[in-house]
A and B are shown apart, each in its own frame.
Chain A
Amino acid sequence: MSQVALELKNINTTVNIGTPEEKRILKDLNLTLEKGDFVTLLGTNGAGKSTLLNVINGSLNTTSGQVVLNNHDLTKLSEVKRAKYIAQVFQDPKMGTAPRMTVAENLLLATKRGQKRGLRLRGLKKHLAEFKEETAQLPNGLSDRLNTFAGSLSGGQRQTLSFLMATIQKPELLLLDEHTAALDPNTSHQLLELTNEVVEKENLTCIMITHQMKDALKYGNRTVILNDGKVVLDAKGAEREKLTEEDVLKYFAN
């Protein structure tokens, strides 16, 4: 039986209210994700993809509408409170990691995502073996660099670390905002394959923004296209199988 994971109900988002730059970005947007859905999200610049992710993660308030995750209404919760349920990987490799903390320290922070942080000693040593194991399966040699400052890693390594940080403690929802866009084609491919593998293995519910139509159709089980703040295509199953890049392009027209 499939189970509803994320429900976006009549989401409206207007930014810069009361200024000349007032702009309605999301317009009565409705979207429902089932548990284990891996959605690739496409759309032109300004279609509202990032805004949608920000509305879900709580860094942007909805003007009206509801965000419900696993029957839990998140609409009024702050970004910090939502972190307990939602993990994210940003586009900029610098965004997802703390540069002057080591790889292991970054991972340790992530294992406590959304938990209360008190005066207990952090217990880094206890986790080192576990981190070694987790990183050993990853590409680009992170496991030998556990004690390196994240700031000295390459972009690919930093982004792989960000991805591991987002999934090391299983989130109820994983948001990926063009997380491979800043990487070279090889590294980008590697990280996408890793993403696919982890999302499938852990049966994560995931939304991935991408600009690569090929990737959007190759990965995941569902493709959603946004245009002008609305869902213009929501394809899954057989309908998605038949979808070609040319078909997708049509939905980009204004």
Chain B
Amino acid sequence: MSLVTSAIGQGLLWGILALGLFLTFRILNFPDMTVEGTFPFGAAVCVSALVHGVNPIVATALSFGAGLLTGLMTGLLYTKGRIPILLAGILVMTGIYSINLRILGRANVGLMHQKTLFSPEFLKNLPDGFDSVCVGIIFTIVIVILLAVFLNTDIGQAFIATGDNEKMARSLGIHTDNTKILGLMISNGLIGLAGGLISQNNGYADVNMGVGTIVIGLAAIIIGEVAYGELSLTARLVAVVVGSILYRFVLLIVLKLGFSTNDYKLLSAIILAFCLMLPLLQKKFHVNKVLKKGVERP
């Protein structure tokens, strides 16, 4: 039971990262590699702030701010510097590694008795694993609502149009450079926030914790899409969070099959590759139907 609870909690917290990634991968239509730098950056900023006695709420907000900065950096390199987006992301991600080491002072910093968002009494009194479920649900609900509202504003619509048809967007007077930067900032802000929350939940920040995060985020997005199919944009945001939880269940099952946690990255990559090939497999073997049945009966 506690394993399932923990999977839901982890799924919700990682769902925030997946929501951020959704904005670039699905709306702007490009893969943003900055993620792998932003996630540990958010964690490093948050943990280091906590160690220096900063209030947990402020520290969490700082991790969001850290993400905004990396998103801004990638956005500027991509739009103003005309560097291809994949490379711009990789450059920022690589640069941040050194910054993370500077912030943490060493490769790994643990939280000892510092207060975190998970410290309040009522969370401590909950059964094991429910604290992350609680925090995860609160953050996810707030973020999904804010994103849904944002995407329905004039600027949000301009942001969607930018990813959908840039030439048209420009011809309608949309400053596509600005909407791309804005999208990258919000996206990475959420990813930094996810880094901050997950580091508080894990009790440490590690410079290497970003490796493979883009695969985890993409897997959540795509599993959500496979499970739900055609949806409205707001519903797709919820599907991403559900996808993130489903992904944790898949890992749980894999663990039960006897794999070790060391195999997670390989398995994540295989799961994602499989999901990405689904449209093809679906045509050939009607895998989709089989998979949907599996999802409907958890």
Contact = CB atoms under 8 A, between A and B. Distances in A.
Contacts of B164: 98-101
Interface-central residue, A100, A109, A118, A119, by most chain B CB under 10 Å: A109
Interface residues of B, number: 23
B262 interface: no
Contacts of A97: 165, 168
Contact of A117 (B155, B168, B170): B155
A88 to B, nearest CB: 5
Contacts of A119: 150, 153-155
Given A81-B173, A84-B173, A122-B152, A96 B168 contact: yes
B172 interface: yes
Interface in A69-105: 79-81, 83-84, 87-88, 90, 94-101, 105
Interface string A106-121: 0011101111011111
Given A119-B155, A121-B153, A122-B153, A98 B161 contact: yes
B171 interface: yes
Q: What size tier do the contact residues of chain A reach?
A: 20 to 34
Given A83-B173, A113-B173, A117-B174, A99 B165 contact: yes
Interface in A144-164: none
B174 A80 contact: yes
Contacts of B158: 109, 117
A94 to B, nearest CB: 8
A69 to B, nearest CB: 15
A98 B160 CA distance: 9
A79 B154 contact: no
A62 to B, nearest CB: 18
Nearest to A96: B168
A120 B154 contact: yes
B292 interface: no
Contacts of B289: none
A87 B158 CA distance: 17
B156 interface: yes
Given A98-B160, A99-B164, A119-B153, A109 B172 contact: yes
Contacts of B153: 118-122
Contacts of A40: none
Interface-central residue, B153, B173, B175, by most chain A CB under 10 Å: B173
Given A108-B157, A112-B154, A122-B152, A95 B167 contact: yes
Interface in B155-200: 155-158, 160-161, 164-165, 167-176
A80 B156 contact: no
A245 B148 CA distance: 56
Given A95-B168, A98-B164, A99-B164, A80 B173 contact: yes
Contact of B165 (A83, A98, A122): A98
A180 interface: no
Contacts of A120: 153-154
Contacts of A210: none
Contact of B172 (A81, A99, A105, A110): A110
A205 interface: no
B141 to A, nearest CB: 20
Nearest to B156: A122
A195 interface: no
A66 interface: no
Nearest to B153: A119
25 contacts: A79-B170, A79-B171, A80-B170, A80-B174, A80-B175, A83-B170, A90-B167, A98-B161, A98-B169, A99-B164, A101-B157, A101-B161, A108-B157, A109-B157, A112-B154, A112-B172, A112-B173, A113-B173, A115-B173, A117-B157, A117-B174, A118-B153, A119-B150, A121-B153, A121-B154
Pairs A-B, 10 closest by C-beta atoms: A83-B173, A114-B173, A98-B164, A117-B154, A98-B165, A117-B158, A113-B172, A117-B155, A98-B161, A119-B153
Interface of B: 149-150, 152-158, 160-161, 164-165, 167-176
